[in-house]
Amino acid sequence: MTRRLISSGSTFEQEIGYSRAVVDGDWVFVSGT
């Protein structure tokens, strides 16, 4: 399965490797922050 990272475009996300959401196969994991 492939994993796709969804970003809001914030430079903060790039600096620490954070993703707003992760799509992994049939699952979607969304950050609550």
Reported as a single tens digit per residue, the pLDDT across 7-26 is 888 898 889 988 899 999 99
Helix (H, G, I), strand (E, B) or coil at 16: helix
- The β-bridge relationship of strands 3-6 and 27-30 is unpaired
State what percent of residues in the chain have pLDDT above 90.
36
DSSP-derived 3-state class of residue 24:
strand
pTM of the model: 0.64
